Amino acid sequence: MVHAEASTFAEGLSKKQVYEQVLGQAQALFDGQRNWVCNLANASSLLYHAYHSLPSPSNAVNWAGFYVLDPKNPKQLILGPFHGQVACQTIAIGRGVCGTAVEKKTTQLVEDVERFPGHIACDGASKSEVVVPIFQDGRVVAIIDVDCAELSGFTVEDQVALEHVAELIAKSCDF
Amino acid sequence: MVHAEASTFAEGLSKKQVYEQVLGQAQALFDGQRNWVCNLANASSLLYHAYHSLPSPSNAVNWAGFYVLDPKNPKQLILGPFHGQVACQTIAIGRGVCGTAVEKKTTQLVEDVERFPGHIACDGASKSEVVVPIFQDGRVVAIIDVDCAELSGFTVEDQVALEHVAELIAKSCDF
Protein backbone atom coordinates (compact mmCIF):
# COMPACT_ATOMS: atom_id res chain seq x y z
CA MET A 1 0.00 0.00 0.00
CA VAL A 2 1.09 3.53 -0.77
CA HIS A 3 2.01 5.69 2.16
CA ALA A 4 2.06 9.47 2.10
CA GLU A 5 5.59 9.38 3.53
CA ALA A 6 6.75 8.34 0.05
CA SER A 7 6.55 12.03 -0.84
CA THR A 8 8.37 13.16 2.31
CA PHE A 9 11.93 14.14 1.45
CA ALA A 10 14.53 14.52 4.19
CA GLU A 11 16.16 17.93 4.56
CA GLY A 12 19.79 18.23 3.52
CA LEU A 13 19.77 15.77 0.61
CA SER A 14 21.56 16.74 -2.59
CA LYS A 15 19.55 17.31 -5.76
CA LYS A 16 20.99 14.05 -7.12
CA GLN A 17 19.74 12.14 -4.05
CA VAL A 18 16.32 13.79 -4.24
CA TYR A 19 15.87 12.87 -7.91
CA GLU A 20 17.01 9.30 -7.10
CA GLN A 21 14.26 9.14 -4.47
CA VAL A 22 11.72 10.57 -6.94
CA LEU A 23 12.60 7.90 -9.50
CA GLY A 24 12.58 5.08 -6.93
CA GLN A 25 9.28 6.16 -5.38
CA ALA A 26 7.68 6.72 -8.77
CA GLN A 27 8.72 3.23 -9.87
CA ALA A 28 7.18 1.78 -6.70
CA LEU A 29 4.00 3.87 -7.10
CA PHE A 30 3.52 2.86 -10.74
CA ASP A 31 4.07 -0.85 -10.04
CA GLY A 32 1.02 -2.81 -11.19
CA GLN A 33 -0.83 0.35 -12.24
CA ARG A 34 -0.81 1.71 -15.82
CA ASN A 35 -3.60 4.32 -15.48
CA TRP A 36 -1.97 7.56 -16.58
CA VAL A 37 -4.19 9.88 -14.52
CA CYS A 38 -3.48 7.98 -11.30
CA ASN A 39 0.25 7.75 -11.98
CA LEU A 40 0.71 11.37 -13.08
CA ALA A 41 -1.32 12.59 -10.08
CA ASN A 42 1.14 10.84 -7.74
CA ALA A 43 4.13 11.92 -9.86
CA SER A 44 3.13 15.59 -9.63
CA SER A 45 2.96 15.26 -5.84
CA LEU A 46 6.38 13.59 -5.71
CA LEU A 47 8.01 16.24 -7.89
CA TYR A 48 6.43 19.20 -6.08
CA HIS A 49 7.46 17.94 -2.66
CA ALA A 50 10.92 16.98 -3.93
CA TYR A 51 11.67 20.53 -5.09
CA HIS A 52 10.36 21.99 -1.85
CA SER A 53 12.81 19.87 0.15
CA LEU A 54 15.77 21.44 -1.71
CA PRO A 55 17.44 24.82 -1.15
CA SER A 56 16.88 27.87 -3.37
CA PRO A 57 16.09 28.15 -6.25
CA SER A 58 14.44 24.67 -6.31
CA ASN A 59 12.24 25.42 -3.29
CA ALA A 60 10.73 28.31 -5.28
CA VAL A 61 9.08 25.84 -7.69
CA ASN A 62 5.48 27.07 -7.88
CA TRP A 63 4.03 24.55 -10.36
CA ALA A 64 4.85 20.92 -11.15
CA GLY A 65 2.65 18.82 -13.36
CA PHE A 66 1.63 17.57 -16.74
CA TYR A 67 -0.10 18.41 -19.98
CA VAL A 68 -1.21 15.61 -22.31
CA LEU A 69 -2.27 15.56 -25.95
CA ASP A 70 -5.94 16.55 -26.04
CA PRO A 71 -7.89 13.46 -27.13
CA LYS A 72 -10.48 15.79 -28.70
CA ASN A 73 -7.98 17.96 -30.58
CA PRO A 74 -4.51 16.64 -31.53
CA LYS A 75 -3.35 20.21 -32.26
CA GLN A 76 -3.35 21.10 -28.58
CA LEU A 77 -2.28 20.00 -25.15
CA ILE A 78 -4.76 19.73 -22.31
CA LEU A 79 -4.08 20.14 -18.60
CA GLY A 80 -3.32 16.98 -16.61
CA PRO A 81 -2.64 16.45 -12.90
CA PHE A 82 -0.45 19.07 -11.22
CA HIS A 83 0.50 20.75 -7.97
CA GLY A 84 0.40 24.55 -7.88
CA GLN A 85 -2.05 27.31 -8.71
CA VAL A 86 -4.77 26.85 -11.34
CA ALA A 87 -3.48 26.65 -14.89
CA CYS A 88 -4.42 27.15 -18.55
CA GLN A 89 -6.73 24.37 -19.73
CA THR A 90 -5.25 24.02 -23.21
CA ILE A 91 -2.07 25.07 -25.04
CA ALA A 92 -1.72 25.00 -28.83
CA ILE A 93 1.16 22.85 -30.13
CA GLY A 94 3.93 25.27 -31.07
CA ARG A 95 2.83 27.97 -28.61
CA GLY A 96 4.77 28.97 -25.52
CA VAL A 97 7.35 26.82 -23.77
CA CYS A 98 5.09 23.74 -23.52
CA GLY A 99 3.83 23.91 -27.11
CA THR A 100 7.40 24.39 -28.38
CA ALA A 101 8.66 21.31 -26.52
CA VAL A 102 6.02 19.25 -28.33
CA GLU A 103 6.62 20.79 -31.73
CA LYS A 104 10.41 20.51 -31.53
CA LYS A 105 10.29 17.17 -29.65
CA THR A 106 13.01 18.43 -27.30
CA THR A 107 13.32 19.59 -23.71
CA GLN A 108 13.00 23.34 -23.23
CA LEU A 109 15.20 24.69 -20.41
CA VAL A 110 14.24 28.35 -20.02
CA GLU A 111 16.20 30.57 -17.64
CA ASP A 112 13.89 33.57 -18.11
CA VAL A 113 10.40 32.93 -19.45
CA GLU A 114 9.94 36.62 -20.29
CA ARG A 115 12.62 36.24 -22.97
CA PHE A 116 11.00 33.14 -24.51
CA PRO A 117 9.18 34.09 -27.74
CA GLY A 118 5.42 33.63 -27.35
CA HIS A 119 5.59 32.75 -23.64
CA ILE A 120 2.12 32.14 -22.18
CA ALA A 121 1.92 33.94 -18.84
CA CYS A 122 -0.50 31.62 -17.05
CA ASP A 123 1.09 32.69 -13.79
CA GLY A 124 2.97 35.98 -13.59
CA ALA A 125 4.94 34.57 -10.64
CA SER A 126 6.74 32.04 -12.85
CA LYS A 127 10.19 33.25 -13.87
CA SER A 128 11.87 30.13 -15.27
CA GLU A 129 10.63 26.81 -16.59
CA VAL A 130 11.65 23.37 -17.77
CA VAL A 131 9.43 21.31 -20.09
CA VAL A 132 10.29 17.70 -20.95
CA PRO A 133 8.44 15.71 -23.61
CA ILE A 134 7.20 12.19 -22.84
CA PHE A 135 7.54 9.92 -25.90
CA GLN A 136 5.73 6.72 -26.81
CA ASP A 137 6.62 5.14 -30.18
CA GLY A 138 8.47 8.30 -31.19
CA ARG A 139 5.40 10.48 -30.61
CA VAL A 140 4.99 13.06 -27.84
CA VAL A 141 2.02 11.95 -25.71
CA ALA A 142 2.51 14.31 -22.77
CA ILE A 143 4.95 16.75 -21.19
CA ILE A 144 6.37 17.33 -17.73
CA ASP A 145 6.16 21.05 -16.93
CA VAL A 146 7.88 22.63 -13.92
CA ASP A 147 7.83 26.37 -13.19
CA CYS A 148 9.99 28.29 -10.73
CA ALA A 149 9.36 31.71 -9.20
CA GLU A 150 13.11 32.47 -9.47
CA LEU A 151 15.14 33.11 -12.63
CA SER A 152 17.39 30.21 -13.72
CA GLY A 153 15.54 27.77 -11.46
CA PHE A 154 16.69 24.74 -13.43
CA THR A 155 20.00 23.40 -14.74
CA VAL A 156 21.07 20.60 -17.04
CA GLU A 157 21.03 18.37 -13.94
CA ASP A 158 17.27 18.95 -13.66
CA GLN A 159 16.83 18.40 -17.38
CA VAL A 160 18.65 15.04 -17.35
CA ALA A 161 16.83 13.82 -14.23
CA LEU A 162 13.40 14.86 -15.58
CA GLU A 163 14.19 13.10 -18.86
CA HIS A 164 14.70 9.93 -16.81
CA VAL A 165 11.34 10.54 -15.08
CA ALA A 166 9.75 11.03 -18.52
CA GLU A 167 11.19 7.71 -19.73
CA LEU A 168 9.84 5.93 -16.66
CA ILE A 169 6.39 7.47 -17.20
CA ALA A 170 6.45 6.53 -20.90
CA LYS A 171 7.09 2.86 -20.17
CA SER A 172 4.77 2.71 -17.14
CA CYS A 173 1.55 4.35 -18.34
CA ASP A 174 -1.12 3.76 -20.96
CA PHE A 175 -2.04 7.11 -22.50
CA MET B 1 -7.45 32.83 -20.36
CA VAL B 2 -7.00 31.28 -16.95
CA HIS B 3 -4.80 33.13 -14.52
CA ALA B 4 -3.14 31.58 -11.51
CA GLU B 5 -4.59 34.35 -9.34
CA ALA B 6 -7.94 32.55 -9.65
CA SER B 7 -6.69 30.26 -6.89
CA THR B 8 -5.43 33.12 -4.73
CA PHE B 9 -7.81 33.69 -1.84
CA ALA B 10 -7.65 36.87 0.21
CA GLU B 11 -6.91 36.53 3.92
CA GLY B 12 -9.76 37.24 6.32
CA LEU B 13 -12.63 35.93 4.21
CA SER B 14 -15.29 33.83 5.89
CA LYS B 15 -15.67 30.17 4.96
CA LYS B 16 -18.92 31.08 3.20
CA GLN B 17 -17.12 33.71 1.08
CA VAL B 18 -14.26 31.33 0.27
CA TYR B 19 -16.64 28.60 -0.92
CA GLU B 20 -18.51 31.20 -3.01
CA GLN B 21 -15.21 32.09 -4.67
CA VAL B 22 -14.41 28.39 -5.22
CA LEU B 23 -17.76 27.86 -6.93
CA GLY B 24 -17.48 31.03 -9.03
CA GLN B 25 -13.91 30.31 -10.12
CA ALA B 26 -14.68 26.66 -10.83
CA GLN B 27 -17.60 27.67 -13.02
CA ALA B 28 -15.34 30.08 -14.94
CA LEU B 29 -12.58 27.47 -15.25
CA PHE B 30 -14.95 24.77 -16.52
CA ASP B 31 -16.58 27.07 -19.08
CA GLY B 32 -16.18 25.57 -22.56
CA GLN B 33 -14.18 22.60 -21.26
CA ARG B 34 -15.74 19.23 -20.35
CA ASN B 35 -12.53 17.16 -19.97
CA TRP B 36 -12.78 15.72 -16.46
CA VAL B 37 -9.03 15.40 -15.86
CA CYS B 38 -8.41 19.05 -16.77
CA ASN B 39 -11.34 20.30 -14.72
CA LEU B 40 -10.65 18.19 -11.63
CA ALA B 41 -6.96 19.13 -11.73
CA ASN B 42 -7.91 22.81 -11.49
CA ALA B 43 -10.66 22.07 -8.93
CA SER B 44 -8.19 20.30 -6.62
CA SER B 45 -5.93 23.36 -6.80
CA LEU B 46 -8.83 25.70 -6.03
CA LEU B 47 -10.00 23.65 -3.05
CA TYR B 48 -6.52 23.15 -1.57
CA HIS B 49 -5.68 26.85 -1.76
CA ALA B 50 -9.14 27.81 -0.47
CA TYR B 51 -8.70 25.79 2.73
CA HIS B 52 -5.21 27.17 3.27
CA SER B 53 -6.55 30.72 3.20
CA LEU B 54 -8.88 29.97 6.13
CA PRO B 55 -8.07 29.80 9.85
CA SER B 56 -7.67 26.55 11.83
CA PRO B 57 -8.78 23.81 11.40
CA SER B 58 -9.34 24.40 7.65
CA ASN B 59 -5.73 25.50 7.04
CA ALA B 60 -4.65 22.06 8.31
CA VAL B 61 -6.18 20.40 5.22
CA ASN B 62 -3.40 18.10 3.99
CA TRP B 63 -5.11 16.50 0.97
CA ALA B 64 -7.80 17.71 -1.43
CA GLY B 65 -8.67 15.81 -4.56
CA PHE B 66 -10.63 13.18 -6.36
CA TYR B 67 -11.10 9.49 -6.92
CA VAL B 68 -13.08 8.27 -9.93
CA LEU B 69 -14.63 4.93 -10.82
CA ASP B 70 -11.87 2.77 -12.29
CA PRO B 71 -12.69 2.26 -15.98
CA LYS B 72 -10.89 -1.11 -15.82
CA ASN B 73 -12.67 -2.33 -12.67
CA PRO B 74 -16.09 -0.96 -11.65
CA LYS B 75 -15.65 -2.45 -8.17
CA GLN B 76 -13.00 0.10 -7.25
CA LEU B 77 -12.11 3.77 -7.28
CA ILE B 78 -8.89 4.97 -8.85
CA LEU B 79 -6.88 8.06 -7.92
CA GLY B 80 -7.62 11.26 -9.83
CA PRO B 81 -6.04 14.72 -9.64
CA PHE B 82 -5.23 15.98 -6.13
CA HIS B 83 -3.10 18.31 -4.07
CA GLY B 84 -1.25 16.80 -1.10
CA GLN B 85 1.08 13.91 -0.46
CA VAL B 86 1.05 10.78 -2.62
CA ALA B 87 -2.05 8.63 -2.19
CA CYS B 88 -3.45 5.11 -2.56
CA GLN B 89 -3.91 4.23 -6.25
CA THR B 90 -7.16 2.30 -5.79
CA ILE B 91 -9.86 1.88 -3.14
CA ALA B 92 -12.43 -0.94 -3.19
CA ILE B 93 -16.06 0.22 -3.20
CA GLY B 94 -17.32 -0.24 0.36
CA ARG B 95 -13.86 0.11 1.95
CA GLY B 96 -12.80 3.05 4.10
CA VAL B 97 -14.39 6.48 4.06
CA CYS B 98 -14.18 6.88 0.26
CA GLY B 99 -15.48 3.41 -0.57
CA THR B 100 -18.33 3.84 1.92
CA ALA B 101 -19.44 7.14 0.35
CA VAL B 102 -19.76 5.34 -2.99
CA GLU B 103 -21.51 2.27 -1.58
CA LYS B 104 -23.98 4.30 0.51
CA LYS B 105 -24.27 7.09 -2.07
CA THR B 106 -24.04 9.67 0.69
CA THR B 107 -21.52 12.19 1.98
CA GLN B 108 -19.33 10.90 4.80
CA LEU B 109 -18.41 13.58 7.35
CA VAL B 110 -15.88 11.97 9.69
CA GLU B 111 -14.68 13.85 12.76
CA ASP B 112 -12.09 11.21 13.70
CA VAL B 113 -10.94 8.81 11.01
CA GLU B 114 -9.46 6.43 13.59
CA ARG B 115 -13.00 5.71 14.77
CA PHE B 116 -14.32 4.99 11.26
CA PRO B 117 -14.66 1.22 10.71
CA GLY B 118 -12.19 -0.01 8.08
CA HIS B 119 -10.46 3.36 7.70
CA ILE B 120 -7.59 3.18 5.17
CA ALA B 121 -4.62 5.00 6.67
CA CYS B 122 -3.01 6.25 3.45
CA ASP B 123 -1.58 9.13 5.44
CA GLY B 124 -1.14 8.82 9.20
CA ALA B 125 -1.29 12.62 9.44
CA SER B 126 -4.97 12.73 8.41
CA LYS B 127 -7.27 13.01 11.43
CA SER B 128 -10.64 13.94 9.90
CA GLU B 129 -12.16 13.67 6.44
CA VAL B 130 -15.11 14.59 4.28
CA VAL B 131 -16.03 12.58 1.18
CA VAL B 132 -18.76 13.76 -1.19
CA PRO B 133 -20.09 11.61 -4.05
CA ILE B 134 -20.43 13.09 -7.56
CA PHE B 135 -23.53 11.74 -9.31
CA GLN B 136 -24.39 11.49 -13.01
CA ASP B 137 -27.74 9.88 -13.88
CA GLY B 138 -28.11 8.64 -10.30
CA ARG B 139 -24.78 6.80 -10.43
CA VAL B 140 -21.65 7.78 -8.49
CA VAL B 141 -18.93 8.54 -11.05
CA ALA B 142 -16.37 10.13 -8.73
CA ILE B 143 -15.86 11.50 -5.22
CA ILE B 144 -14.41 14.65 -3.72
CA ASP B 145 -12.10 13.69 -0.86
CA VAL B 146 -10.66 16.22 1.60
CA ASP B 147 -8.47 15.26 4.58
CA CYS B 148 -7.50 17.41 7.54
CA ALA B 149 -4.59 16.94 9.96
CA GLU B 150 -6.83 18.14 12.82
CA LEU B 151 -9.78 16.31 14.40
CA SER B 152 -13.23 17.64 13.40
CA GLY B 153 -11.77 19.58 10.49
CA PHE B 154 -15.10 19.76 8.68
CA THR B 155 -18.65 20.78 9.56
CA VAL B 156 -22.04 20.60 7.87
CA GLU B 157 -21.14 23.95 6.25
CA ASP B 158 -18.27 22.21 4.42
CA GLN B 159 -20.51 19.28 3.52
CA VAL B 160 -23.20 21.49 1.98
CA ALA B 161 -20.66 23.63 0.07
CA LEU B 162 -18.80 20.59 -1.26
CA GLU B 163 -22.10 19.05 -2.34
CA HIS B 164 -22.64 22.20 -4.45
CA VAL B 165 -19.14 21.79 -5.92
CA ALA B 166 -19.97 18.14 -6.68
CA GLU B 167 -23.16 19.19 -8.50
CA LEU B 168 -21.23 21.73 -10.57
CA ILE B 169 -18.62 19.09 -11.49
CA ALA B 170 -21.34 16.58 -12.39
CA LYS B 171 -22.98 18.94 -14.85
CA SER B 172 -19.70 20.34 -16.23
CA CYS B 173 -17.60 17.25 -16.96
CA ASP B 174 -17.73 14.18 -19.19
CA PHE B 175 -16.52 11.18 -17.19
Q: Could you say which residues from 71 to 130 on chain B have a Cβ atom under 8 Å away from some Cβ of chain A?
A: 72, 78-90, 120, 122-125
Does the complex come out with an ipTM higher than 0.85?
Answer: yes
Structural domain contains residue B109? yes
Instruction: Evaluate if residue B9 carries a pLDDT over 70.
Output: yes
Domain containing A104 — which CATH number? Answer: 3.30.450.40
B14 CB within 8 Å of a chain A CB = no
Domain housing B87? 13-172
Structural domain contains residue B2? no
SS3 A65: strand
* Res A170: pLDDT: 98
Structural domain contains residue B6? no
- In DSSP terms, which residues pair with A69 in a beta bridge? A77
Of the candidates A164, A133, A129, which has an alpha carbon nearest to the alpha carbon of residue A69?
A: A133
A78 to chain B, closest Cα gap in Å: 7
Instruction: Evaluate if residue B2 carries a pLDDT over 70.
Output: no
Structural domain contains residue B7? no
Of the candidates B128, B88, B94, which has an alpha carbon nearest to the alpha carbon of residue B112?
A: B128
Q: What is the pLDDT of residues B127-169, one digit of tens each?
A: 999 999 999 999 999 999 999 999 999 999 999 999 999 999 9
Mean pLDDT in order along chain A per 10 residues (175 residues):
75 94 96 97 97 96 97 96 96 96 98 90 89 97 98 98 98 97
Contact between A37 and B42 using a beta-carbon 8 Å cutoff: no
Structural domain contains residue B42? yes
Strand B108-110 to strand B128-136: parallel, antiparallel, or no bridges (unpaired)? antiparallel
Q: How far apart are the C-alpha atoms of A46 and B3, rounded to whole Å?
A: 24
How many contacts, defined by CB atoms under 8 Å, are there between A and B? Answer: 140
What is the pLDDT confidence band of residue B1, given thresholds at 50, 70 and 90?
Answer: low
Structural domain contains residue B45? yes
Structural domain contains residue B8? no
Question: How many CB atoms within 10 Å of residue B119?
Answer: 17
Total number of domains constituting chain B: 1
The residues near B133 (Cβ < 8 Å, ≥ 6 apart) are B101, B102, B105, B106, B107, B140, B142, B143, B166
Structural domain contains residue B3? no
Q: What is the pLDDT of residues B55-97, one digit of tens each?
A: 999 999 999 999 999 999 999 999 999 999 999 999 999 999 9
